[in-house]
Amino acid sequence: GKLYGRGSVDMKSGTCSSVLAAWIIKELGLPLKGDVQLTVVCDEEICGDRGICYLLKEGYVKKEHENDMGI
């Protein structure tokens, strides 16, 4: 019933806020200049091979439009 370890409590509210923001943008049908792709990954602190680097390498995340951005 307990969770221990690095990353077990950080960024939960930030991740939830990002998910809700993306959902609200979609629900309201707000016009955007580019695409929004929400990713939640591990290895963000060391840029390891199981996080965003994996998604980039495998082509899951790519810049298709000039205005596409990632945060």
Taking the C-alpha atoms of residue 52 and residue 25, their distance in angstroms, rounded to an integer, is: 23
Whole-number pLDDT of residue 69: 67
In the predicted structure, residue 48 carries a pLDDT above the cut 90: no
Average pLDDT, the chain: 82
In the predicted structure, residue 41 carries a pLDDT above the cut 70: yes
The radius of gyration of the chain's CA atoms, rounded to the nearest angstrom, is 15
Q: Show the tokens assigned to 10.
A: 């950080």
Q: Tens digit of pLDDT for each residue in 61-71?
A: 877 777 776 66
Whole-number pLDDT of residue 23: 93
Q: Which residues contact 33 (CB under 8 A, 6 or more apart)?
A: 65, 67
Taking the C-alpha atoms of residue 68 and residue 5, their distance in angstroms, rounded to an integer, is: 34
Its pTM stands at 0.63
